[in-house]
Amino acid sequence: MPEQKVVEPEELLLKAPREKKFITGSQAFAEAVKRANVDIAIAYPITPQSETMHLVGDLYAQGYVKDYYRAEEEYGTMSAIAGAVRGGARAFSATSGPGLLRGLEAIVSWPGHRIPVVLGVMTRVVNAPLSIQPDNVEIAYLLHSGLVVLHAENQQDVFDFTLAGFPISEKVDVYLPVVVATEGFFVTHAKGYVELPPEDMKLPPRDPYKAPVPPTDCEIPPARIQRDAPVQKSNFMSYLIHAVWQQEVWSANRRAMKWIYHYLGGPIEVVNPDAEVFIVASGCAAAQGREAQRYAELEGLPVGLIKVKALRPFPEKEIREALKNAKAVIVPEHNIVGWLAKEVKAAIPNGGIVVDGPRVYGGMTLPVELIMDEVYKALGIKKEKTLA
Amino acid sequence: MGLEYVKISPGFEKYMPRDYVDLVQFGQFGKQIDVMQMGQFKELVEEHPMCAGCYMAYFIRVFYAALPNPEDTIVLGTAGCARLALSQAAVPFIYGNYGDTNAVASGLKRALSIRFPDKVKDVVVMAGDGGLMDIGFGMTMHSWFRREKFTTIMVDNEVYGNTGGQESGMSPKGIQLKMAPTGKKFDKINAVELAQVAGCVYVAKISPTNPKRIAKTIKRAILAAREFGPTFIHAYTSCNIEYSIPTREVLADARNREKQDFKFYEWMTDEVKEYLEEIERKEKEKAKEEVGQ
């Protein structure tokens, strides 16, 4: 392993020269962890996440990560992450589909405990019949738990979001876990071009004392910190404490937005802002939406794309502004419930222009033609379907 | 840092809460207290909302008095009776999710070892029979398999006291409790044997009838965990509510159980034995010297 010099996140993320590599999404996660100065990574296997945590294990063997172990199961993994982070360490883990649900009770308590950590979520089918294929219905609950949720379209996003996730999560005014979600297999097991900064640079170590909720390490006064901490009070007060604390968690979540602008250039990307019809999508659906927008452009159709990078905090204001002149909004998704369509509908004053779909699930790919069908419908173009 | 963080900045004494000032002046931080002096110093836990006559509350009081290093100790608990007192003590306390104590403690202990490689930071889990042997069973076992260096103390009241008296894996066979309407169908889980085969280096079973013995057991468990690996204490701490033990009879009940299935039992590896004997020999010599002076 090369000697790594500590550089500020701005240097590493925004200024350092980058070199183009052709790597998988799993490798992109590991490349981010390699530069993130991670103290401890805890892993439990589940397809399609395992490869990422194998690679992080290799980083431990090489000395990039200080401690690493295979935990007993996801609940144990996510609880141990909470312990490590409360002890002042910087931590990383990743999971997928059923594993995410198994660890969910611990994961959704992280925001309330103010656990700054980065969790990779490689989305996968949860419900029966069994499938190991991507389907991002699991993201739905994460959106309601106070975590910062970023949704990566491709391998480059995986790298950038994961590396930026650490400084975002550790900002004093945020201090929340950051989830970097991406579609399993489609991104994790496929290669793409990723611009990488040098591997001999790393983030500054975590400073656990720069925190709204300090670490539990017997180093800071007062001794009775936990007795008076708002998160541990008795049942008699907990309803009030919970309400106040959750409001603060959600305020912190909104405060993450300025750091998303700072490190990631903002929560959305807009292609063809003057279009009449917009495709709004996140993750892999954004990649397919991008392709549909390109088709439409070739056909001379007024179609634009809004890629949603940050699902929490949700870029309500930005989406409303970008869609202010839209006549129709198509929201393709990789899940049956359509959580993004609901969010977009609620964010704009004329929600009726939102088309619920197309949606695929259970691991199906999202054909560009399905999105184009909705584009033609929205523009009133009749396309004859004939058998070849 | 340890002792430094409990000190009061000069000039601020009169603005600090009285009980905090007492804790620093007359408490046990930085000192080795003999549990027989209880009542003569400011204890780490005083107020707590546990039931009158609760034997677990008594055990917890002795536990805090016995800590070898209270200024650098972190206690973890889970849902249940014990945490009601643990969360009121003047020692940092972590309350995770249901039954996850030993997983959280694993991460915490490792983080502290990374950040403070040259310091002693003791991590102690104190949880009930439900938390450690039922809902958190897998996490308890695996922390032992992984040889995590912290102490687990099971306060066994043989019932889910806090949720209203349901049967637990540690309830005696045949006993009729809520969720066991026709009586419990299987024996108490043998936690001590499990701990031994799972890799604990020091294991004890105790009915807390003798404070000196409790203190010695707790101290030994914590000292051994620091150096060698996981340690475990199985303590009988009756539930006087669910088992209808009159307050004045809780000690008699503990003595009675001591004769039956909670006979004092202590096991340790040879290296732990050697290590503890050496520490205790030096302590005795030091005490003799002090008496001589």
Q: Residue A386: its pLDDT value, please?
A: 62
Same structural domain, A70 and A143: yes
Total structural domains within chain A: 2
Q: Chain centroid to CA B106: how far?
A: 17
User: Is residue A257 situated within a structural domain?
Assistant: no
Neighboring chain A residues of B149 at a CB cutoff of 8 Å:
none
Q: Closest partner residue to A221 among B5, B121, B146, by Cβ? A: B5
How confident is the model at residue B47, as a pLDDT? 80
Domain extent at residue A323: 269-379
Q: What share of chain A is helix, strand, coil (3-state, %, to 5)?
A: 40, 20, 40
- Indicate the residue among A185, A209, A233 that finishes a domain: A209
**Mutate which: B75, B106, B116, B145, vs A, most A CBs within 10 A:** B106
Q: Are residues A45 and A165 in the same domain?
A: yes
* Interface mutation target, options A66, A68, A79, A234, chain B, most CBs of B under 10 Å: A79
* Contacting residues for B77 by C-beta, under 8 A, at least 6 apart: B83, B86, B87, B93, B94, B95, B101, B125, B126, B127, B131
Number of CB pairs < 8 Å for A and B? 147
The span from the CA of A254 to the CA of A342, in Å, is: 19
CATH code, A359? 3.40.50.920
Domain boundary among A164, A185, A209: A209
Contact A72 B73 (CB under 8 A): no
Q: What is the ipTM of this complex?
A: 0.93
From A187, A209, A231, the end of a domain falls on A209
Contacts of A216 in chain B (CB under 8 A): 74, 92, 94, 108
Model-level pTM greater than 0.90?
Answer: yes
Q: What angle do CA B168, A76, A172 make, to 5 degrees?
A: 125
First-to-last C-alpha distance (Å) of chain A: 57
The dihedral over CA atoms of A254, A255, A256, A261, expressed in degrees to the nearest 10, equals 100
Contact B109 A216 (CB under 8 A): no
Chain A residues whose CB is inside 8 A of the B73 CB are: 218
Nearest CA of chain B to the CA of A54: how many Å? 19
DSSP string spanning A17-33?
--EEEEEEHHHHHHHHH
**Within 13 Å of residue B25, how many CA atoms lie on the same side as its CB?**
9
Angle between helices B137-145 and B191-198 (to 10 degrees): 40
Would you say A335 and A308 are in contact if contact means Cβ atoms under 8 Å apart?
no
Q: What distance in Å separates residue A117's CA from the closest CA in chain B?
A: 13
Q: Tell me the per-residue pLDDT of B198-221, one tens digit each, with 9 for 90 and over.
A: 999 999 999 999 999 999 999 999
Q: Does A214 touch chain B (CB under 8 A)?
A: no
A243, with CB counted inside 10 A (0-12, 13-18, 19+), is: exposed
Task: Please report the pLDDT score of residue A230 as a whole number.
Answer: 45
Report CB contact under 8 Å: A87, B90: no
Residue A228 lies in a domain: no
Assess whether A141 and A279 both reside in one domain. no
Restricting to A residues 54-73, those with a Cβ less than 8 Å away from any Cβ of B are 66-67, 69, 71-73
Q: Do both A57 and A170 map to the same domain?
A: yes
Cβ(B272)–Cβ(B196) under 8 Å? no
Both tokens assigned to B131? 């938390």
Asked whether residue A275 falls in the same domain as residue A199, the answer is no
| A191 and A56 both lie in a single domain | yes
For residue A194, the domain's CATH number is 3.40.50.970
Q: How far apart are CA A254 and CA A248, in angstroms?
A: 10
Report the gap between the CA of B261 and the closest CA in chain A (Å): 31
Same domain? A196 vs A278:
no
From the list B124, B288, B142, the residue with the least C-alpha distance to B220 is: B124
Binary contact (A221, B108; C-beta < 8 A)? no
Using a CB-CB cut-off of 8 Å, the residues of chain B touching A88 are 111-112, 115
From first to last of its 388 residues, what are the pLDDT tens digits of chain A?
899 999 999 999 999 999 999 999 999 999 999 999 999 999 999 999 999 999 999 999 999 999 999 999 999 999 999 999 999 999 999 999 999 999 999 999 999 999 999 999 999 999 888 899 999 999 999 999 999 999 999 999 999 999 999 999 999 999 999 999 999 999 999 999 999 999 999 999 999 999 988 899 998 865 444 444 444 544 455 567 778 889 999 999 999 999 999 999 999 999 999 999 999 999 999 999 999 999 999 999 999 999 999 999 999 999 999 999 999 999 999 999 999 999 999 999 999 999 999 999 998 999 999 999 999 999 999 887 666 5
Q: What are the structural domains, with CATH classification, of chain B?
A: 52-292 (3.40.50.970)
Tell whether A223 is within 8 A of chain B (Cβ). Answer: yes
Nearest CA of chain B to the CA of A81: how many Å?
6
Is it true that the peptide bond before A313 is cis, omega within 30 degrees of 0? yes
Q: Which residues contact A342 (CB under 8 A, 6 or more apart)?
A: none
- Kind of pairing between the strands at A303-308 and A268-271: antiparallel
- The alpha carbon dihedral of B226, B230, B234, B240 has a sign of positive
* Residues A49, A187 within the same domain: yes
Terminal CA-CA length for chain B: 31
pLDDT below 50 — which residues of chain B? 1
Do A320 and A197 belong together in one domain? Answer: no
Q: Are residues A198 and A94 in the same domain?
A: yes
Asked whether the beta carbons of residue A84 and residue B100 sit closer than 8 angstroms, the reply is no
A153 contacts: CB under 8 Å, gap ≥ 6: A182, A187, A282, A283, A284, A286, A287, A290, A307, A309
Model confidence over B228-259: pLDDT tens digits? 999 999 999 999 999 999 999 999 999 999 99
